Amino acid sequence: MTTTDTRAAAADLPIVRGRTETWRLFLPQTVIQTRRLLLRWWRDPLTLVQSLVFPALLLIVLNTVLGKQVSTFSGASALYGSVPMVALVGVMSGSLASAITLGRERDQGLLARLWVLPVHRASGLASRILAEGARILLCTTVLFAVGVLLGFRFEQGVLAGIALFGVPLLYGLGFATLVTAVAVFSAKAALVEAVSLGSSIMMFFSTGFVPLTAYPRWAQPIVAHQPMTYAIDAMRGLSLGGPVRTALLATVAWSVGAIVVFAVPAAVGYRRASRR
């Protein structure tokens, strides 16, 4: 293309007057990008399988294989531990799938193309937070519905049931912040896979898998004080009944702590990935 052709093409482009990165446009631009992410995740088989299909099948298998034994050992239905645990597994699996998608968008140059568009720069990261929240609530609703079909019940009333949905939401946002920071700073999927392995180990060493007293003595302090156990115990208390305050405060501390520690690295890494 010659210089004359370039100037002629540029003359046909619309003239943008004033600032394009304004807070007035931040909200509608964030909504548009959130919709884009949700549609992409919905059409991505990996995200659907890891967020919904695998956790639902895992819940059914756990209830079929271990449900009766755990119920007899603990004196209460095993579903009040396995349903919260699998809901958290779905939250974490979906966040890992989203991190892989984010890495693909970075490698394909999509983040860089979005960065140079006349949109507010903060809308990209804000849209991911909103999309994560929507995905977490959807996955939690689906897995609780499967749990209800198996016998899970909200024994503590409507308000406790609403609060029950807030636990995986807060936990999931903290975990998603950590995974996003890992994904934007690493060009390798190995680190994301390492986080996936760690989350699987957390599942097997939590009170949602078997009661705390079923673990060896050396493992009980580790199981009792890991973040997933606190979230499961809080959700068990909000559904079946029992102490909630300590477990809920610990879940808030773990989740907010993860957000505070990894939010700045995630934002800095997202900016760096968008300018590659």
Closest CA to 242 of 88, 86, 81: 81
Query: Residue 188 in contact with residue 107, Cβ under 8 Å?
Result: no
Plot region of 230 (φ>0 → left; ψ -120 to 50 → alpha; else → beta): alpha
Q: How far apart are CA 150 and CA 140, in angstroms?
A: 15
Query: Residue 152 in contact with residue 239, Cβ under 8 Å?
Result: yes
Residue range 95-102: average pLDDT?
A: 82
Q: Tens digit of pLDDT for each residue in 22-66?
A: 667 788 888 888 998 888 888 877 778 878 888 899 899 988 988
At residue 11 the predicted structure's pLDDT band, cuts being 50, 70 and 90, is very low
Query: Residue 183 in contact with residue 208, Cβ under 8 Å?
Result: no
pLDDT at 2 over 60: no
- The percent of residues in the chain predicted with pLDDT above 90, rounded, is 33
Query: Residue 228 in contact with residue 208, Cβ under 8 Å?
Result: yes
pLDDT at 17 over 60: no
Residue type, 17: R
Q: Tens digit of pLDDT for each residue in 199-233?
A: 888 888 998 888 888 899 999 999 999 999 999 99
Reading the block at residue 268, the tokens are 């800095």
Who's near 184: CB < 8 A, 6+ residues apart? Answer: 102, 106, 266, 269, 270, 272, 273
* pLDDT attached to residue 255: 93
Residue bearing the bigger pLDDT, 189 or 90: 90
| Long-range CB pairs of 27-36, under 8 A, 24+ apart, other chains included | 29/119, 29/120, 29/123, 30/120, 30/123, 30/126, 30/127, 30/130, 31/127, 31/130, 32/127, 33/114, 33/119, 33/123, 33/124, 33/127, 34/127, 34/130, 34/131, 34/134, 36/127
